Amino acid sequence: MILAVPPKYSVASVVGFLKGKSAINIARICGKEKNFAGEHFWARGYSVSTVGFELEAIKKYVREQEEADEQGRF
């Protein structure tokens, strides 16, 4: 997902909002009505680039997210 975040919003708050609302929506679609405590849908981290980026580095980061999350490397 590529986003343009206006300067008045912090990147962390926008990412947190998107992760939180989408995880709740996905849980409801899958049959959970309430009490989402302990549920984990998204990995803990995210990547941000303000001026250019290396496409291969980003692809590697995404591929390794699940493994890094399981090992607690954050």
Q: 0.85 exceeded by the pTM? A: no
The closest of 49, 21, 50 to 62, measured between CA atoms, is 49
Helix H or strand E encompassing 11 = helix 11-29
> Which one of the listed residues 36, 41, 42, 61 is annotated catalytic?
61
Q: Is 61 a catalytic residue?
A: yes
DSSP state of 64: T
Tens of pLDDT, residues 11-50: 889 988 988 888 888 878 877 666 556 666 777 777 777 6
HEC states along 29-62?
HCCCCCCCCCCCCCCCCCCCCCCCCCHHHHHHHH
Please provide the size of the chain in residues: 74
